[in-house]
């Protein structure tokens, strides 16, 4: 019955990860230029995961999902969001999304949630600037992300318990900003 289900469509990020795996393979001499060109063209034309899998299956460190680990940042990925604002309300960035190299979040008498557990990154180093005025903000990071928290709080709090190294090769995220009569909490969660 599962074979009757429609194929899962590939995203731009998944096609780009497969293309990066191919670029690495040709640089290491695992593919010749002709085969690289054919596979690269097929990767960018792929519509489903099933079309991506055979392009990288015979390459080292290529998981069955047809791409390197999603935690590896790829320079040049297009940001889907560079900021968020909540005034007397709230915002949430969660699920699969691409964080800009600088992401600015602002809350005034409101709240916000930035969830990086399924996020991709525009660059190897990302700065998330959080400004919470009379409100609050939460940032969720996965255990394998390299995190540095350097915020300032005045009559509020700026939690830095998530600060610490991540897995080798993981992107680095710096969380900075200001909490004034409010709070910013940064937590690790799977």
Residue pLDDT, tens place only, 148-159: 999 999 998 998
pLDDT in tens, 117-165: 988 888 889 999 999 999 999 999 998 889 999 999 999 899 888 888 8
Spatial contact of 132 and 107, defined as CB atoms under 8 Å apart: yes
Residue 61's pLDDT is what?
63
Name the stretches of the chain with pLDDT < 70: 1-6, 61-76
Would you call 151 exposed, middle or buried from its count of C-beta atoms within 10 A (0-12, 13-18, 19+)?
buried
Residue 105's pLDDT is what?
95
Global pTM reads 0.61
Residue 76's pLDDT is what?
53
Sequence-ordered alpha helix ranges (H) in 95-174 = none
């Amino acid at each position: 019955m599962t074979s009757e289900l429609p194929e899962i469509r590939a995203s731009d990020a998944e096609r780009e990860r497969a293309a990066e795996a191919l670029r690495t393979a040709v640089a290491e001499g695992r593919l010749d230029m002709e085969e690289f060109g054919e596979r690269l063209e097929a990767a960018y034309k792929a519509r489903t995961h099933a079309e991506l899998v055979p392009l990288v299956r015979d390459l080292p460190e290529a998981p069955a999902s047809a791409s390197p680990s999603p935690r590896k940042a790829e320079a040049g990925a297009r940001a889907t969001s560079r900021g968020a604002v909540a005034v007397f309300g709230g915002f949430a960035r969660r699920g699969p999304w691409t964080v800009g190299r600088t992401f600015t979040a602002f809350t005034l008498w409101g709240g916000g949630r930035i969830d990086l557990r399924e996020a991709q990154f525009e660059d190897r180093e990302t700065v998330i600037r959080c400004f919470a005025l009379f409100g609050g903000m939460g940032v969720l990071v996965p255990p394998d992300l390299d995190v540095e928290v350097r915020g300032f709080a005045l009559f509020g709090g700026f939690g830095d318990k998530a600060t610490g190294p991540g897995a080798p090769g993981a992107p680095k995220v710096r969380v900075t900003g200001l909490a004034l009569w409010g709070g910013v909490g940064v937590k690790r969660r799977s």
